[in-house]
Amino acid sequence: MTDDLEPIDPRTAKQMYLDARSHELADSTIQSHRYRLKQFVLWCEEEDIENLNDFSGRDIHRYRVKRREEDGLATATMKGQLATLKTFLRFLASIDGVKPGLDEKIILPTLTEEDARVEMLDPERADAIFDHLEQFRYATLEHALLTVLWHTGIRIGAAVGLDADDYNSEEQYLILKHRPEQGTSLKNGKGSERVIALQDHVCTVLDDWLEVNHNGLVDEHGREPLFVTRQNRLSRNRGRTIAYQYTRPCVYSDTCPHDRDIDDCEAIPTSNVHACPSVLSPHPIRRGAITYHLRKDTPEPVVSSRMDVSPDVIDLHYDQRSSVDKMRQRRRYLPDS
């Protein structure tokens, strides 16, 4: 052990790191870091690592192998896990918790285009979901939320932070505001603030939701949330559960692609809805919305601004169009002669 280091156990180190970063990172990012470091702390305890002063490059390798081979993490997930660990070790070095430069021993995996291609909500499935909602759950919280997520492509964190007066029915737009001091931050802080135009259909659903089913609840900051439950502003977790609930095929089609007995399926209870292999979280809905806009010839700079995502990230993580699709769309802009 290096004499200049001060003993620190993994759990204490994790909490110190989260406390130090809480004022500079969005709530959703802190939550992500908390989860990733929880896995690291649990591994340390399994390996009887009680003092990080002695943590080494060989330990990093063993942790990496465990997460990749035993836990079966995909390359994109591994990259996120290791990026957080790298930042964590850099912080610990600054407070004499680990050897300086230890973070440099972490080499992040390179994502291929194939690694970045993951699940999304496609337009045909979206149509089926909204047909069901409009027939059986019209202008409910679930209908209003999913309508906004699909047609705007905003993040769930941005959606739950909206207030009723952030919506302008007459001019048909939403204003996204970064309000971290009141618990509703945006992913990229002030840089995520923007005004988003809405289609007629989206405004009709929001107008009916506010007039008929919204309960007028005011939160502890004197704000009236756009999306509310019976007692509180809609939370990210509840928003994710809504996405899980209504992307189950048995809900909108009365069929199960997994050959399960719908009446006895373990994923029927809301508390266990994630057990359905077909469910989608809000992020694949966002990915599907971005791809849908691109396929409809919405210019990439417009999609970038509207969805708060850089063109490079769109290309790597969100754009699910095939090379042939892209070629056909570019052809439309070629001169006739």
pLDDT for position 3? 60
Are 186 and 51 in the same domain? no
Residue 233 burial by Cβ neighbours in a 10 Å radius (0-12, 13-18, 19+): buried
Are 144 and 108 in the same domain? no
Average pLDDT rounded to a whole number, residues 80-107: 93
Look at strands 194-197 and 167-168 and give their pairing. Answer: unpaired
Please say which residue of 284, 305, 323 terminates a domain: 284
pLDDT for position 204? 97
211 part of a folded domain: yes
Are 73 and 168 in the same domain? no
Residue 211, CB-side half-sphere exposure with 13 Å CA sphere:
8
337 part of a folded domain: no
SS3 call for 219: coil
14 part of a folded domain: yes
Are 128 and 159 in the same domain? yes
Local confidence band at 113 (pLDDT 50, 70, 90 cut-offs): low
DSSP, residue by residue, 277-311: TT---HHHHHHHHHHHHHHTT--HHHHHHHHT--H
- Tokens 């939370």, residue? 235
Beta carbons within 10 angstroms of residue 100's beta carbon? 15
300 part of a folded domain: no
* CA-to-CA separations, 33 to 141, 250, 327, in angstroms, rounded: 30, 34, 39
- Tokens 């699909």, residue? 150
Are 51 and 134 in the same domain? no
Average pLDDT rounded to a whole number, residues 129-144: 97
Instruction: Mark out the alpha helices in 95-199 (DSSP H runs).
Output: 113-116, 123-136, 141-152, 156-160
**Long-range Cβ pairs for the range 324-330 (8 Å, 24+):** 325/295, 329/295, 329/297
Are 215 and 155 in the same domain? yes
Please say which residue of 54, 84, 116 terminates a domain: 116
pLDDT for position 1? 44
CA-CA distance, 176 to 306, in Å (whole number)? 11
166 part of a folded domain: yes
Residue 147 structural domain: 123-284
Q: With a cut of 70, say whether residue 7 has pLDDT above it.
A: yes
Per-residue pLDDT of 17-42, as tens digits, reads 999 998 887 776 788 889 889 999 99
CA-CA distance, 257 to 250, in Å (whole number)? 8
Return the CATH number at 159: 1.10.443
Cβ–Cβ < 8 Å for 54, 13: no
Q: With a cut of 80, say whether residue 328 has pLDDT above it.
A: no
Average pLDDT rounded to a whole number, residues 232-250: 93
309 part of a folded domain: no
pLDDT for position 158? 95
Are 127 and 106 in the same domain? no
Return the CATH number at 16: 1.10.150.130
Local confidence band at 332 (pLDDT 50, 70, 90 cut-offs): low
Are 243 and 195 in the same domain? yes
> Mean pLDDT of all residues in the chain?
87
Are 242 and 140 in the same domain? yes
pLDDT for position 58? 94
Residue 282 burial by Cβ neighbours in a 10 Å radius (0-12, 13-18, 19+): buried
Are 100 and 216 in the same domain? no
> What is the Rg, in whole angstroms, of the alpha carbon atoms belonging to the chain?
23
What residues does 163 pair with on adjacent strands? 225
pLDDT for position 194? 94
Average pLDDT rounded to a whole number, residues 165-169: 96
Percent of the chain with pLDDT over 90: 57
End-to-end CA distance of the chain: 74
Are 51 and 70 in the same domain? yes
pLDDT for position 196? 93
Supply the angle between the helices 236-246 and 123-136 in degrees, to the nearest 10.
100
Are 144 and 257 in the same domain? yes
Rounded to 10 degrees, the C-alpha dihedral 79/84/86/88 comes to -170
Q: With a cut of 50, say whether residue 337 has pLDDT above it.
A: no
Beta carbons within 10 angstroms of residue 34's beta carbon? 14
* Domain count of the fold of the chain: 2
138 part of a folded domain: yes
Please say which residue of 55, 85, 116 terminates a domain: 116
- Nearest-5° Cα angle at 237, 189 to 220: 65
Average pLDDT rounded to a whole number, residues 170-189: 92
